[in-house]
Amino acid sequence: MKDQKIIDQLLQAVGGKENVKNYEHCATRLRIILKNDALLDKKKAENISESKGYFFNTGQHQFIFGTGKVNEVYEAFAQTMGKDGEQQTAFKEDVYSNLTPVQKVVRTLSDVLVPLIPALVTTGLLMGIRGLLVELGVPFSADWYALFEMLTDTAFAFLPVLIAYSATKKFGGNPIIGIVVGLMMVAPQLPNAWAVASGDAQPFHLFGLSISGYQGSIFPAIIVGWLVSKLEKGFRKFVPQMMDLVVTPFLTIVVTLTLVLFALGPILQVAEKAVINGIVYLVQAPFGIGYILYAAVQQLIVITGLHHSLSIIELGLLNTSGENVLQVLGTASMAGQFGAAIAAAFLYRNKVKRSNAISAAVPTLFGITEPLLFGINLRSLRIFASGMVGGAIGGLMTYVFQLAATGMGITFIPGLLLYTGDFGAMLKYIAVILIAFSVGFACVQLQRRKISDELNEETTIEDDLQTLSATEN
């Protein structure tokens, strides 16, 4: 065998053929999961012939052979091990079993939300451009404005539908049922969540509970996907086969929607009120501590989908004092995450992934951060934490400058329009952005080696399986 020497060295390094639990390869690396990691000889692993390096990550011992060569080594390794078709399917499950609980959550979020990034990037850019044009006073007729709203608002208004579809697919359920339940979550018959939050609409009152739509919600839609997949599989165990086509989907949709509207919804409303009250107390903390903490965690609130309720606090601030400090702090939080994302984007070795990461970050300039968060920063807790540090320093500078906006609704670059009446305040606003960005960027650079290893590992097992399939065909 051409690569027999490499295979023999590999088996010696990993503790023998009998210690190999599973194996796979991506574009450049042979990835091996062992039954007992303690049997690995690290010195031998680092000195495999023709290997460009070895590292251990997420339960996988990864040997870098490079494009092309890794295919040869994998085939030789598979021949020695005895190729098992079922083994390749189980690799994904084995990888997940080796992840920590936090890593599993991050990987699951990534697998569900990353496929949505192209749609969010496109509509996010359009939404930012629309907001900027409106603030600049560009005239639109009612028809043209309605058309622009259709382009900009559709993906975000129906975000729970997209997420429910992706989550249901991820968890192994019927994606069409996921879509149906997702559509019911944002049905026009339900009071719009954003309208309820702003006071322009009243929720339904059923069984003593307040019910409204789920526009902009993220986690409820993920839970819907999980519920659909679990319930569908559960009902199928006892529903007669001849009735399965009708009864199983019916029960799955009814039970899922009932749980979402009458159990999950009220819980989220309680959580929402707790978040709002907590934010008020947080911002009022002395010595700028509230500013620092809020700017650090504001993007965490965006991840939960509860950020649309912050407009209530902003309206209250403007009504009582004529100033809105949350606009500056929110921008600082965005700038910190933006700096971390840009630094991380340039750590990708793959040019396509680097370009996609930059594209996902760009909408942040217009105040749209979902593509950045789910496309880049949440793939590594180190990146997200770096962005939080940048936001915190931006919050500190906001306190030092005693800076606050005179309006709401726009952030980042469009937010400059809120400071046109005070050139000094505008310079301070720009300084907050630049400082938060720089700190977030620098924090990633300080961890560049570890973050680079995380990012340049294949982000989803599905990508790896596609690579394997392409090389085998």
Q: Any idea which residues carry the catalytic annotation? A: 26
Are the C-beta atoms of residues 340 and 447 closer than 8 Å to each other?
Answer: no
Phi-psi domain of 187 (left: phi exceeds 0; alpha: psi -120 through 50; beta: other): beta
Contacts 24+ apart (CB under 8 A), 135-142: 135/410, 135/414, 135/417, 136/417
Six-digit token string for 176 = 């069409």
- H helices of 22-138, in order, are 42-45, 69-81, 85-97, 101-113, 117-135
Q: What's the rounded Cα separation, in Å, for the pair 256 and 38? A: 44
- H helices of 237-377, in order, are 244-259, 265-283, 289-304, 310-321, 325-345, 351-361, 370-375
Residue 237: C-alpha distances to residues 171, 245, 309 (Å): 17, 13, 41
**DSSP secondary structure string, 51-67?**
--EEEEETTEEEEE--T
Instruction: Please report, in angstroms and rounded to a whole number, the separation of the first and last CA atoms in the chain.
Output: 21
Length of the chain: 473
Q: What's the rounded Cα separation, in Å, for the pair 416 and 67? A: 47
Phi-psi domain of 68 (left: phi exceeds 0; alpha: psi -120 through 50; beta: other): left
Strand partners, 20: 34
Buried b (16+ CB within 10 A) or exposed e, 284-308: eeeeeebbbbbbbbbbebbbebbbb
Six-digit token string for 217 = 């919600």
Six-digit token string for 285 = 């903390």
**Under 8 Å CB-to-CB from 147, ≥6 apart: which residues?**
none
